[in-house]
Chain A
Amino acid sequence: MNLSLVYFAIGLTFVVLQATVLHLASWTPIIPDLTLVLCVYLALNRPRVDAVWTTFLLGYAIDMLSSPQPGVNAMAFSAVFLVVYLAFRYVWAKGPLISAITVFVAVWLKVGALIAISPLFELSAGNWMVVGDAVLREAIFSACIAPPLFLMLRSIQNRMETVKKPPSLANASS
């Protein structure tokens, strides 16, 4: 539970970063979705109920900060979590490339869910190319940033779980 709170705090930090600093760092209006990377990480590496609701709340936080319609990001994030949990956690290969590919697919899933849910995305045929280009760039940015972020999150998780272990267990494992 403590770890979930930590992840939730990290997620909120990511939301703030996305709303502020990343706009400065990025040379295009497209910014990498750090929060989604975190949700993918949770779905892959922490398949627990609190991770589900952490994902939901993070999506909802994005809704409250930036979405004109509450719930769409929460739903999209939950859908991404569900799909990644059901599909990608059975991919036994692990590594930076796999995480990047997973995040790349997750961004497309998220935008697909958003388009499916929100009436804001009632686009004419000509705009699909623009949307596709934007999604591609966001997916590439997010995929590029995913491996180091996964490393960071995993190190946090390892540290927290080591702290949680009783001394006898820690000694036994070492």
Chain B
Amino acid sequence: MAAARTGKTADSPRSSPQPDQSRPSRVRQVWFVALTVLRRYRMPIHATCALALAFYVVTVSSAAPQKGDPVTRVLAQSVKPIQKSLHALGSTIRNIQINFVAFKDLWNENQALKEQIAALEAERNRLFEAKLANDRLTELLEIRTRILRESVAATVISNSASTWFRTITVDKGAGSGIHRGMAVITPRGVVGRVVSVADDTAKVLLLTDHKSGIDIITQRTRVRGIVSGSVDGEPIVKYMGRNDDIRPGDRLITSGLDGTFPKGLLVGTIMEIADDGPGLFRRVRVSLAVDPLVMEEVLFISDKPRPSYSSAPQPDSQAAPSATP
């Protein structure tokens, strides 16, 4: 500033012409103006320089991409360690990300597979139940075709609510042709008989009830007796004499004499014979062929013959293959 001021006073027209001094002062003035402009517009100038440098770098790197521009070469060498560290850091984070995503995918897949397994398990269970029901109904249908009487199939909907009365309730009643006194069987053997009927339901008194009784014969020796339930739930055979030829394991079948059950249906097997009691008869414990607690479908047998067989009735004993040994 001082130099410029000095130059300005030297260039004054009033002063005497001094060619040797005027040239440096003019240079100083130009230099001053240039400095002022540079100082005033230093920001745009620097920005333009930066732009130009960047453009130069782009141009050089485009012209010789294999070598790169000199600035890049120098900077690349200097920042190489930083770059490597950043790259390693980035790779680590990316690996963590990839592992996290993979873990998340695996977790999702695991959840989906678990849900699929649960669905398949339920489906398998349903199909297995359907197969079991199908087997049971097939057996029921088979025995129904063999029995020469009218019959109605029904499903057990409840068991007895009392300890003292052993009954079951089924989902069909008078509307389906069920009436009081009908015999109730399953493919495995005798269940009991109908004691009460509503429109849509029927109650069956089981053989295990102490009020029930069914006329039987032993399959091996044809000895007669009455199978009855008991309060303690263990059925017995009444009226078997001490001299009757019976032994444990003998199969008991319906005699057909009571007019309710067809002849030859399996009732159970003799489990134990007690001769120690007083009286004319022995105490015989029976294992029933049908466990009333696991029944699901039963067949009601009417005392009327089926229409197609009514003209030519055949012996009922042929209708009970389950009783054959």
Residues of A within 8 A of B (CB): 16, 19-21, 23-24, 47-49, 52-53, 55-56, 59-61, 64-65, 69-72, 74-75, 78-79, 81-82, 85-86, 117-119
Q: Are B75 and A117 in contact (CB under 8 A)?
A: no
Q: Are B44 and A86 in contact (CB under 8 A)?
A: yes
Q: Are A70 and B57 in contact (CB under 8 A)?
A: yes
The contact of B54 among A19, A49, A65, A75, by CB within 8 Å, is A75
Given contacts A71-B69, A82-B47, A85-B43, 17 further A-B contacts (CB under 8 A): A16-B89, A24-B93, A59-B54, A64-B76, A64-B83, A65-B86, A69-B62, A70-B68, A71-B54, A71-B56, A72-B54, A72-B58, A74-B57, A75-B54, A78-B47, A81-B47, A117-B55
Q: Are A21 and B93 in contact (CB under 8 A)?
A: yes
The contact of A53 among B50, B79, B94, by CB within 8 Å, is B50
The contact of A79 among B42, B46, B51, by CB within 8 Å, is B51
Q: A residues within 8 A CB of B93?
A: 20-21, 24
The contact of B94 among A20, A48, A59, by CB within 8 Å, is A20
Q: Are A48 and B43 in contact (CB under 8 A)?
A: yes
* A78 to B97 Cα, complex, angstroms: 33
Using known A-B contacts A64-B76, A64-B83, determine if residue A23 contacts B97 with beta carbons closer than 8 Å. Answer: yes
Whether B118 is near chain A, meaning CB under 8 Å from some CB there, is no
The contact of A70 among B72, B89, B90, by CB within 8 Å, is B72
The contact of B51 among A21, A61, A78, by CB within 8 Å, is A78
Kindly report which residue of chain B lies nearest to residue A76, judged by CB atoms: B54
Whether B159 is near chain A, meaning CB under 8 Å from some CB there, is no
- Whole-angstrom distance from the CB of A16 to the nearest CB of chain B? 6
* A56 to B71 Cα, complex, angstroms: 13
Name the residue among A82, A85, A118 with the largest chain B CB count within 10 angstroms.
Answer: A82
Q: B residues within 8 A CB of A16?
A: 86, 89-90
Q: A residues within 8 A CB of B196?
A: none
Q: Are B58 and A69 in contact (CB under 8 A)?
A: yes
Interface of chain B, main secondary structure: helix
Q: B residues within 8 A CB of A75?
A: 51, 54-55, 57-58
* A25 to B59 Cα, complex, angstroms: 36
The contact of B75 among A60, A69, A119, by CB within 8 Å, is A60
* A47 to B40 Cα, complex, angstroms: 12
- Whole-angstrom distance from the CB of B301 to the nearest CB of chain A? 72
Whether B61 is near chain A, meaning CB under 8 Å from some CB there, is yes
Name the residue among B46, B47, B90, B93 with the largest chain A CB count within 10 angstroms.
Answer: B47
Query: Which chain B residues (60-114) contact chain A, with CB distance < 8 Å?
Result: 61-62, 65, 68-69, 72, 75-76, 79, 83, 86, 89-90, 93-94, 97
Q: B residues within 8 A CB of A59?
A: 54
Q: B residues within 8 A CB of A55?
A: 50
* A24 to B92 Cα, complex, angstroms: 12
Using known A-B contacts A16-B86, A24-B93, A48-B43, determine if residue A82 contacts B51 with beta carbons closer than 8 Å. Answer: yes
- Whole-angstrom distance from the CB of B121 to the nearest CB of chain A? 36
* A52 to B222 Cα, complex, angstroms: 119
* A60 to B57 Cα, complex, angstroms: 10
Q: A residues within 8 A CB of B138?
A: none
- Whole-angstrom distance from the CB of A95 to the nearest CB of chain B? 24
Whether B134 is near chain A, meaning CB under 8 Å from some CB there, is no
Contact bitstring B19-52, A, C-beta under 8 A = 1, else 0: 0000000000000000000000011101110110
